[in-house]
């Protein structure tokens, strides 16, 4: 019999039927007004079910999708490069209007969303040609089969459910902005002028305390230099005064959270965010109720030791791998953390609301751009404060000598460089927040310089 169904298909049909029956009996006047609409066809009025209409559109879109091995293999190369070179960037789940899902890196403060997930069709194409994929692609990228499998397990955990991971529509709306698919990413259709109100920090300067790129266009602020872990935990550092990392009291942007406070067991009522130098009355770690401990570790804090969101960040600040909760082994070549079976479970990215990423409201007037007293944990650039760009080896302790304000007391309120004000562009090997090319050749340019 040609219409025989497998057990799985039959169960899916029964589940859908049960869902429709439940919806029918739960229907009331208000729900009916939202679900159904009247459509005029000539002289006739027809009642249209919006849910059924959308389901038909989804089915038609997915049936028309055609993905071959070449497309899937090229996609994986771009994904792998993005993840390895920019592991500190936030990851978020993005759905199009049909419900198709992908995982993206948030680059350039949300101007660019770089895809880092393979769709079900792309995975199928790779599996069907896995011998070629293994012997050529993985070998050229110096990636073991084990690392590839770890990436796949990680992706499944991030998505929470594979059912909606499909190729997406060419245009979406996200963060109140319209995006268009180019290469392997969604780009803002029109770049808002207020993007220059927000600073982008040099990840090398923050992580290492030094940047050797004389053409670096990103912000070099000593308050962003990551804390020296040895000095923080033991009070000593083998490098002494030669250490380029922060040896002072730190601040909300570079100090990790207090694990005892998260568990409700810290003996101190106040944390280091109170800017006290007295270790007998204040905890040396951060106390904040803004963290959501069901969320993954903040990627920015974990991989560069600095997060521009500071106390407002909902992602826990800890010196742990953010991906340890999603896979037992890390596939990131430059990850410095060990994974163990003791890592806590975290929410899938599909369950984390967009507003919790605290992205700049690119299409709305931000009150922080007009208020002199508002907090600036976006890295806001109010007028009147100069910043440093280019090569810098100056330590944070040296910046604040001779009675200058303690960096732990200060908000990251920064000013555009003179070149920014004049509209100058960056050199060819760097990216600037005022420059966003729509060429395919720029697809892999990330928020920061690549490793």
Edge-to-edge strands, sheet with 185-188: 91-95, 101-107, 112-115, 185-188, 177-182, 171-174
Residue 112 lies in a domain: yes
pLDDT band at 445 (very low <50, low <70, confident <90, very high): very low
Per the structure, the count of domains in the chain is 2
Domain-located, residue 200: no
Torsion region of 293: left, alpha or beta (phi above 0 gives left; psi -120 to 50 gives alpha):
alpha
Instruction: Assess whether 78 and 173 both reside in one domain.
Output: yes
pLDDT tens string 375-417? 443 454 444 444 455 544 444 444 444 334 443 333 443 333 3
pLDDT digit string, tens, across residues 29-71: 787 777 788 788 888 888 777 777 777 777 777 777 778 999 9
Q: 245 is written with which tokens?
A: 């990392």
- pLDDT: which is higher, 328 or 318: 318
Beta pairing partners, 107: 112
Residue 225 vs residue 416, higher pLDDT: 225
CA distances from 50 to 13, 42, 210 (A): 20, 20, 56
CA dihedral 158, 160, 165, 170 (to 10 degrees): -60
Helix (H, G, I), strand (E, B) or coil at 414: coil
32 lies in some domain? yes
The range of the structural domain enclosing residue 135 comes to 67-188
Same domain, 38 and 91: no
Whether pLDDT at 369 is above 70 = no
**Mean pLDDT, the chain, whole residue set:** 77
3-class DSSP string for 211-230? ECCCCCCCEECHHHCCECHH
Instruction: Write out the two tokens for 316.
Output: 């826990």
Statement to judge: residues 148 and 88 lie in one domain: yes
**Among 133, 159, 188, residue at a domain's last position:** 188
Average pLDDT over residues 160-170: 79
Q: What is the pLDDT of residues 97-122, one digit of tens each?
A: 888 899 999 998 889 999 999 998 89
- Model pLDDT, residue 146: 94
pLDDT for the residue 276: 60
- For residue 256, CA distances in Å to 34, 226, 246, 319 come to 46, 10, 13, 7
Which pLDDT belongs to residue 449?
Answer: 32
Last residue of a domain, one of 43, 63, 83: 63
In a domain, 144, yes or no: yes
Answer yes or no: do 26 and 92 share one domain.
no
Angle at 273 between CA 267 and CA 275, to 5 degrees: 100
**Residue 448 within any structural domain of the chain:** no
Q: Which of 133, 177, 136 is nearest to 152 (CA)?
A: 133
* pLDDT value at residue 143: 95
- Higher local confidence (pLDDT), 13 or 215: 215
In 3D, which of 152, 99, 127 has the Cα closest to residue 323?
152
Q: Are residues 94 and 169 in the same domain?
A: yes
Region 181-192: what's the mean pLDDT? 90
53 and 145 assigned to the same domain: no
> Domain for residue 175, yes or no?
yes
Q: Same domain, yes or no, for 55 and 75?
A: no
Within a domain: 210: no
Residues 35, 84, single domain; the answer is: no
Based on the domain organization, do 154 and 139 belong to the same domain?
A: yes
Q: Say whether both 109 and 51 belong to one domain.
A: no
Judgement on whether residues 183 and 71 belong to the same structural domain of the protein: yes
Confidence of residue 364 (pLDDT cuts 50, 70, 90): low
Q: Is residue 205 part of a domain?
A: no
CA dihedral defined by 180, 181, 182, 187, rounded to 10 degrees?
50
């Amino acid at each position: 019999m040609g219409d025989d169904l497998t057990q799985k298909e039959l169960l899916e049909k029964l589940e859908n039927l049960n869902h429709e029956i439940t919806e029918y009996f739960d229907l009331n006047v208000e729900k009916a007004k939202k679900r159904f609409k009247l459509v005029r066809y000539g002289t006739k009025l027809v009642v249209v079910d919006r849910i059924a209409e959308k389901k038909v559109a989804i089915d038609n879109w997915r049936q028309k999708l055609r993905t071959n091995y070449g497309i899937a293999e090229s996609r994986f190369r771009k994904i792998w490069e993005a993840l390895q070179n920019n592991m500190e960037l936030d990851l978020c789940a993005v759905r199009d209007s049909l419900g198709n899902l992908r995982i993206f890196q948030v680059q350039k403060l949300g101007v660019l969303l770089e895809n880092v997930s393979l769709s079900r069709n792309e995975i199928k194409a790779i599996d069907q040609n896995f011998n070629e994929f293994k012997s050529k692609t993985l070998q050229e990228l110096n990636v073991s089969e084990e690392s590839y499998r770890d990436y796949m397990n990680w992706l499944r955990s991030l998505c929470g459910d594979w059912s909606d991971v499909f190729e997406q529509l060419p245009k979406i709306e996200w963060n109140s902005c319209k995006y268009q698919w180019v290469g392997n990413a969604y780009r803002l259709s029109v770049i808002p002028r207020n993007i220059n109100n927000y600073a982008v920090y040099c990840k090398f300067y923050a992580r290492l305390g030094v940047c050797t790129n004389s053409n670096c266009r990103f912000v070099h602020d000593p308050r962003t230099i990551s804390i020296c872990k040895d000095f923080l935990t033991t009070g000593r550092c083998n490098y002494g005064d030669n250490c380029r990392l922060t040896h002072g009291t730190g601040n909300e942007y570079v100090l990790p959270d207090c694990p005892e406070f998260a568990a409700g067991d810290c003996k101190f009522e106040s944390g280091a965010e109170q800017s006290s130098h007295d270790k007998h009355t204040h905890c040396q770690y951060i106390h904040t109720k803004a963290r959501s401990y069901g969320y993954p570790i903040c990627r920015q804090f974990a991989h560069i030791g600095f997060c521009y969101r500071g106390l407002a960040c909902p992602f826990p600040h800890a010196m742990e791998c953010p991906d340890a909760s999603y896979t037992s082994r890390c596939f990131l070549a430059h990850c410095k953390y060990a994974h163990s079976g003791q890592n806590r479970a975290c929410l899938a990215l599909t369950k984390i609301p967009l507003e919790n990423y605290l992205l700049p409201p690119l299409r709305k007037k931000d009150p922080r751009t007009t208020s002199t007293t508002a907090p600036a944990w976006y890295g806001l650039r109010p007028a009147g404060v100069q910043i440093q760009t280019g090569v810098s080896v100056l330590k944070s302790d040296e910046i604040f000598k001779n009675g200058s304000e303690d960096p732990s007391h200060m908000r990251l309120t920064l000013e555009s460089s003179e070149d920014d004000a004049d509209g100058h562009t960056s050199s060819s090997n760097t990216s600037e927040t005022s420059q966003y090319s729509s060429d395919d050749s720029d697809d892999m340019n990330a928020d920061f310089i690549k490793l």
